[in-house]
Amino acid sequence: MTTCRHLILILMATLGLMLAVAPGHAQQPDVGDQPGLLPDDSVELDPEFQKQAVYYRTTEAPGTIIISTTERHLYLVQPGGRAIRYGIGVGRDGFQWQGLLNITKKAEWPDWTPPPEMIQRQPYLPRFMAGGPGNPLGARAMYLGTTVYRIHGTNRPDTIGTKVSSGCFRLVNADVADLYDRVLVGTKVVVRQKPEL
């Protein structure tokens, strides 16, 4: 009888272990963090998330970047009450944040070194990946302060307008290259959960 109970306990433990690592559980990558995936440039963005000039009231100076995570838009403030608005992908639930930072570094076709926190959540990720079309950071990256967060491109343009990242802000490669050319190291970046009133 005792042997039967032990066997049942072993079988239950084995089943539990199999379920814990089954496909669809924590072993799947964050959407957009798939190394080696080439971007599908034929994806057409919803008009809401296409780059456009808009009227935009703010007290921030021209040249400031304002990110509205709830709207999933990044605004580059222009003179005369206008801004260039880009559609973005933002952090998934539990990975959204707000604050005031500056761009401390810019890189073209940046290398990717996933931070330790991401490796802990997704141990299958590479520890380093050279820049290029299959890199999840895409064509450009602008590093925010001393944090692990960046404004960057993506090899998953279909994620623009969604909340799936680990806290970074992603744009399609054409848009991130456009933004990259318009801003300098030192640019002020305001990240807001709610729109400015």
3-state secondary structure the chain: CHHHHHHHHHHHHHHHHHHHCCCCCCCCCCCCCCCCCCCCCCCCCCHHHCCEEEECCCCCCCCCEEEECCCCEEEEEECCCEEEEEECEEECCCCCCCEEEEEEEEEECCCECCCHHHHHHCCCCCCCECCCCCCCCCCEEEEECCCCCEEECCCCHHHCCCEEECCCEECCHHHHHHHHHHCCCCCEEEEECCCCC
Domains of the chain, earliest start first: 29-192 (2.40.440.10)
> Of the listed 4, 6, 73, 152, which one is catalytic?
152
pLDDT on residue 86: 98
Give the mean pLDDT of 28-51.
76
pLDDT on residue 32: 61
Q: Is 152 a catalytic residue?
A: yes
Give the mean pLDDT of 28-42.
66
> Of the listed 4, 6, 25, 168, which one is catalytic?
168
Q: What is the mean pLDDT of the chain?
A: 84
Tell which wins on pLDDT, 194 or 94.
94
Q: Is 73 a catalytic residue?
A: no
Give the mean pLDDT of 72-99.
95
pLDDT on residue 29: 53
39 falls in which pLDDT band (50, 70, 90)? confident
